[in-house]
Structure 1
Amino acid sequence: MTSFQPLHSVTSQSLTGKLQGFHEALLADYPHICRLACAIYDKPTDVLKTFINSTRQGHAIAGYEVKLHDTPSLLHLANHQQSRVIDDISAEIHGGSVHSDWLLEQGYMSSFTVPIIRQNQFLGFVFIDSVEKDSFTPSIQRDLIMRCASICDAIANELAAAHLLVATASAIRSIANLRDFETGMHLTRMAELSKLIARNLPAHFGLSDEDIEHIYLFSPLHDIGKIGIPDAILLKAGRLTDSERQIMQTHVQKGVDMIDSILADFNLIEANDARIMRNIIAFHHEYLDGSGYPFGLKGEQVPIEARIVTVADIFDALTHKRPYKKSWSVENSLTELHQMVEQGKIDDDCVTALANSLNAAQHIVTTYCDSQEPASNPGY
């Protein structure tokens, strides 16, 4: 059996690290700039969400999302590809929303907002804050726009690479004549549930918005290796025999091999987001007591991103109909997850994060419900 091991360390500098380095260099000329942050835009959902930041004063806002069309001032900047200066935040910004209340609490005095536009597509914003009023003169604005181009390029390139990986894996799945092994709604639920759990984990896990975005993007690829499993097993209407289960379990290594090949082809094997993708695919069937497969990892050997996806995947399987079972209620499914925690199989913090977001979990289950459930056998 392969000795593939979890990739806990970052193999290349993260975007957060790059932004912090950019901020450090900027301080030599502009010591009053106390914060740089980037929010990225998801066009299908119209959601603008926090992504990376470098904060020298105050505390960073994290896990924040807002509909772009609910923020007319930012929508105008995005539509017209314009920057914006606020010379006196305390005079021009009024409380009443989560973001404006947070901004006023930090003591920032002025700000400069720059849209990220690549190939005429709006990708998000860079927010630059200062501890002084009237910090952003026209000449400073021009200089900052030029200097921000490098970090905007890095953000655009990494997002493009991540979406390319997802699109490539999805295309492979589509052309493999897999029919109903996974529905689009299952994949959407996996992304939403994984993000929900990740956002509600305790702070000691140290998941940044950048990490959470990658978990959100890559969690639907967890079972990509199933494209190499024969339909007679993959689509079997009933529980698998022992020999069939052994074949089913090979989908993990098949998925790892497939993704490694894709990463190598795109020269992305050392990319930071590749670590999260590979860990999700390789370890989402591991149990904390060592009884999972294919590597029999225990406890902290299982990366947190894999533990998150494991809980999301089991919860989704429980709450939706399968050929051999009816769908369970959210409450009964959570009871089953808690029992698995007591057995030492899955992560208590991940299950607690899901349980503490019961209404949101129910919303995901009901909103993204399949009209016809997938025939795939999960192979647990």
Structure 2
Amino acid sequence: MTTYVRTDPQIADTFLAGTLPARLKDLHQQIANVLPDIVRVGVFLVDADQARLTTWADSEDRVLPCPSGLASLPGNPALSRCGASGSAQTTFIRIDPALEWAAGERTCPLIAMPVSRGRSFYGFLVIESDPAVALPAHDIRELLAWGPLAASLLAQSIESVHTLIGTTRFALDFTLTRDRETGEHQLRLRDYILALATELSAAHGLGEEFIAELALFGPLHDIGKVGIPDAILLKPGRFEAHEWELMKEHVTLGHSMVERLIQDFRLHDTPGMQTLHDVVAWHHECLDGSGYPYGIHGDAIPMSARIVSTADVFDALTCQRPYKRPWSLDDALTQLQTLAGDKLDRDCVDAMFHARKRIEAIWQQHATGAPPTAG
């Protein structure tokens, strides 16, 4: 079956690209404080084979896929020399097609330098000047002197995002190993989140980068279940009242874990951490304040948590449990409509109805045991 869902590497790449403009803005500001004629800095990311340019991101908040006709690295001689030599390129007798596309008509590519760390090569940092101003030689020498440091800092930032993505994958794998149902729930939820957030994107201004971020971190909403005793977590039947109260503690356990993670590793400004915090802490809250564990309500519940909550309830209804049969998709969607406005966000529920075909394709894919879309 063909599915619309993006693969896990695509989600990760989109998230990574979305983190770059903020870092590039910082680099540009530092350069512009000394050389005001530098008007923009950007980066071309390369694919895993280092043969094609995949994405352009810059200090003007642009994140764009490189046009396929310009993406071949051999078709961009200056960038190819830069990558092969491992050193900056400053003379563009004939501007590379990709560099010309990124510059448009308002900037001029001045210097390109490799962005790498150890054996990992991520792409090219590009410094662009005002095309109406010819920079003196000593300014260019100054850029060449400290430019590699800027590229190294950018590489370090990219590597930290790769580490974060790897950590989330490890957490998902760990959960799958301990409790297969919770692990498979996370995989299903990721796909439902993608469908739901994509449907909501136009009305709520959700960019691709946020959608990718939510797809990466939303499935970790139940991470606190690692602290729930096996006798409760793996119980095949319904919970007794006291067991249910213990199970509900997974939210506060997960919330504490995330706050410790952010505090101990100083991740306050790390991309994705706010989304991770919100979905772990608030995914069982309800609009009318009847949720748990904090009883917050209305607009106090972030959109990220509302999306995860809606997908979470839908998945719980449509999945087999030892104590219940799975609900049909129609019955589950009808139940969501009953909960809309009081328990669940009405826009999120409406989006589930509008994305019905995509939701059904995801449900069938997982129900039939088709390979999950994780890469």
Q: For the superposition of Structure 1 and Structure 2, which TM-score range results when normalised by the shorter chain?
A: 0.5 to 0.7
What does the per-residue CA deviation read over 1:265-296, in whole Å, with 9 as the maximum and x for residues that have no partner? 43436645433222221111111111111111
Q: Offset of 1:297 from its aligned partner? A: 0.8
Candidates 19, 44, 62, aligned match of 2:24: 19
Q: Distance in 1 between matches of 2:190 and 2:47?
A: 13
Q: Offset of 1:327 from its aligned partner? A: 5.5
Q: Offset of 1:219 from its aligned partner? A: 1.7
Match of 1:258 in 2: 257
Match of 1:182 in 2: 182
Moved more, 77-86 or 157-166: 77-86
Question: How many residue pairs are counted as aligned between the two chains?
Answer: 341
Q: Distance in 1 between matches of 2:343 and 2:52?
A: 35
Candidates 324, 331, 346, aligned match of 1:348: 346
For the Cα contact (< 8 Å) 1:191–1:220, is it kept in 2? yes
List aligned pairs for 1:27-38, cutoff 5 A.
27-28=32-33, 34-37=39-42
| Cα distance change of structure 1 residues 241 and 264 upon mapping to structure 2, 3 Å threshold | same
Q: Offset of 1:50 from its aligned partner? A: 6.2
| Cα distance change of structure 1 residues 134 and 118 upon mapping to structure 2, 3 Å threshold | farther
List aligned pairs for 1:61-210, cutoff 5 A.
61=62, 71-73=71-73, 92=97, 107-108=105-106, 110-111=108-109, 116-123=115-122, 126=125, 132=131, 142=144, 145-146=147-148, 148-149=150-151, 151-163=153-165, 165-166=167-168, 169-170=171-172, 173=175, 178-183=178-183, 185-202=184-201
Q: Offset of 1:168 from its aligned partner? A: 6.1
Q: Offset of 1:181 from its aligned partner? A: 3.6
Overall identity of the aligned pairs, in %? 28
| Cα distance change of structure 1 residues 132 and 70 upon mapping to structure 2, 3 Å threshold | closer
Q: Offset of 1:318 from its aligned partner? A: 3.9
For the Cα contact (< 8 Å) 2:222–2:280, is it kept in 1? yes
For the Cα contact (< 8 Å) 2:44–2:123, is it kept in 1? yes
| Cα distance change of structure 1 residues 252 and 24 upon mapping to structure 2, 3 Å threshold | same
TM-score by length of 2: 0.67
Match of 1:328 in 2: 328
List aligned pairs for 1:214-225, cutoff 5 A.
214-225=213-224
What does the per-residue CA deviation read over 1:112-150, in whole Å, with 9 as the maximum and x for residues that have no partner? 765543232244565656663999999698468425325
Q: Offset of 1:247 from its aligned partner? A: 1.9
For the Cα contact (< 8 Å) 1:191–1:216, is it kept in 2? yes
Q: Offset of 1:186 from its aligned partner? A: 3.3
Q: Distance in 2 between matches of 1:334 and 1:228?
A: 32
Match of 1:371 in 2: 369
Q: Distance in 2 between matches of 1:66 and 1:356?
A: 31
Q: Distance in 1 between matches of 2:221 and 2:123?
A: 27
TM-score by length of 1: 0.66
What does the per-residue CA deviation read over 1:87-130, in whole Å, with 9 as the maximum and x for residues that have no partner? 888x947xxxxxx7xx69x6455557655432322445656566
Structure number with bigger Rg = 2
For the Cα contact (< 8 Å) 1:15–1:154, is it kept in 2? no
| Cα distance change of structure 1 residues 73 and 358 upon mapping to structure 2, 3 Å threshold | farther
Match of 1:228 in 2: 227
RMSD: 4.9
For the Cα contact (< 8 Å) 1:107–1:131, is it kept in 2? no
Q: Offset of 1:304 from its aligned partner? A: 2.3
Larger relative contact order (CA 8 Å, sep ≥ 6): 1
> Which AA in structure 1 matches 2:343?
K
Q: Distance in 2 between matches of 1:369 and 1:127?
A: 47
SS at match of 2:328: coil
| Cα distance change of structure 1 residues 87 and 47 upon mapping to structure 2, 3 Å threshold | closer
Q: Distance in 1 between matches of 2:88 and 2:32?
A: 21
What does the per-residue CA deviation read over 1:23-66, in whole Å, with 9 as the maximum and x for residues that have no partner? 2233356656554455767969x9997696421xxxx555x668
| Cα distance change of structure 1 residues 50 and 66 upon mapping to structure 2, 3 Å threshold | closer
For the Cα contact (< 8 Å) 1:114–1:127, is it kept in 2? yes
Q: Offset of 1:351 from its aligned partner? A: 3.9
Match of 1:299 in 2: 298
* Larger helix share, 1 or 2: 2
What 5-or-longer segments of structure 2 have no aligned partner? 1-18, 371-375
